[in-house]
Structure 1
């Protein structure tokens, strides 16, 4: 990692832009030259880092971690922009840019001062890295009030598009996937992102009989349990076959063993509760990650899963979600973020309780509900052990 940071710093000190060699297919030499010209002309010292972030990499897939470590090692003042794990567009998301700043006159260190910039780039749905990064630099040079007006305009357009595609009927009933109707206000951690997103009833297809819905839910529960058994068995076999090598991280190894032991306890009953089966999957995947990290000789820390649905895997940025009068800052996966941005209902994990579908975090299933399967409180193993005592 130290060599990575040194290479990045040397290139930034030279021309203000670093492009990882593996991403040359996304950012050409000509694109890089254009970005270099932009950062040279910027009002404040600006740096651009194009890095192949991945969820399970040294930086946990977080641009904030990469940039913070870079600045800690080489504390040059300025505005730092970086790519995220969203390097290419998909059917559900566009290219994303993240940023940090240090030593900018009159502005606090840390998050970008004008947070509307990231929101505008996201709403404009840029399809390639050069476009998203160039637009970010351009927005940095604009008056913040103008950027905020642009953000409001884009939000209004997206909202109008949503209303046109999804005519509102009434406020009662069900959302697709059996979710109860709720109103969720997604407000970014940043004050500038003042967005309220309402999930309304969609135009309904012909309703399924209750017996069919019950069978569908039962099938989903069986699938989750089967997957938990399969993945935990694979982890157990890995742990049996491997031995701790001199270069391995012993604490990470122990974490892998502890997670596997917790999984076996959860799957001991003949028919575990569906939320326990989901918990077993989350713990198994954390155990596997801990084992891989141990074998690489690195310290391990659990990565948060998506708060709305832990089956979505690792989460990215935290967002402030207002839910039934409560406000939480929770990590969300790219799919849920995209659904919220597009004013669509995210795929929230729900289960049947007393004959009615409810979201998992509205149940009394612990430690899952209060910790968000580790998204709010990372140490799931300790919480689980405390509950079993």
Structure 2
């Protein structure tokens, strides 16, 4: 009953463009569903699932088609109702991989959950667009359209930005800071990224808290904000975002568990990576079983991300391939995505830490301002007395999974 109430509040308060369809079990195999979508894309490069046909206005569909066509290279766009019970188990990365294999055409492939606004993409044999520009266009589109925009609005803005010369600049309005794709670009195609679909909402919530706090503390001589989102709406959005994070974390736990079970035992370095992946997976399951709060939930996500990277390394070692280095997630807020550039030295009260940080957090430190931290019980999460705070989500130590297994999560 509580979940239904929260979902109802979200729909009423934010006036979502489309309502999420009821979940239904898969009607065929993933490959069959991918071939069905690929066949439709050959006729129309914008595929909208029948569940959304009447919910997405025709003029918005025309806008997406026109702006995608103006790019000058093939763009295949899919709006689907992604749920854990569908053929793709709700995974955007699975949709992209299977549809690309079925269509076998060069182009930019983009998929978005029709009840969300976060597009995920892959590129096949298109030299006209760079990863840097795709990331920048996606982030700018999310910022420009706002967290309550519909999927077609964000897609149209993203394609419009891609058509412009140069790399789109960051929007000046407060918005989300999200990774460009579910994997954050790591090899293997399964990179972990649940976070991605919720990053915008969480960052917006942090901003809402700051706005509300400034409003309450303002005196007669201070300028009042002309618009404030009510606290109960912010709480409803937070609950919905957490629900989605929980759902996708559970899905990744199941998916990685199945892949680890099917991985043959390796030797040497491959065996070490395999064991590390198993340990990380077990630790994440233990955290999730403890009915975690938001910070614990993100900690489980981080453990699964580390386990996924160890799994990819084990597979590479077994095949005799080089193990690619993949950056850690941002230490201040893992939901920001992967660290960029070299680790950053952070000094406070005579103590210096070297932390992996995303570009946004590094820029905040350069401006001598506080980064957009993951919120804890009373301020930034690192003020809490937890394993995540003591190790900045494992970025200052090597054995996060081992610490969880030793009961050091909360002490």
Which interval holds the TM-score relative to the shorter structure? 0.3 to 0.5
More strand by share: 1
Q: Which has the larger radius of gyration?
A: 1
TM-score relative to the length of structure 2: 0.43
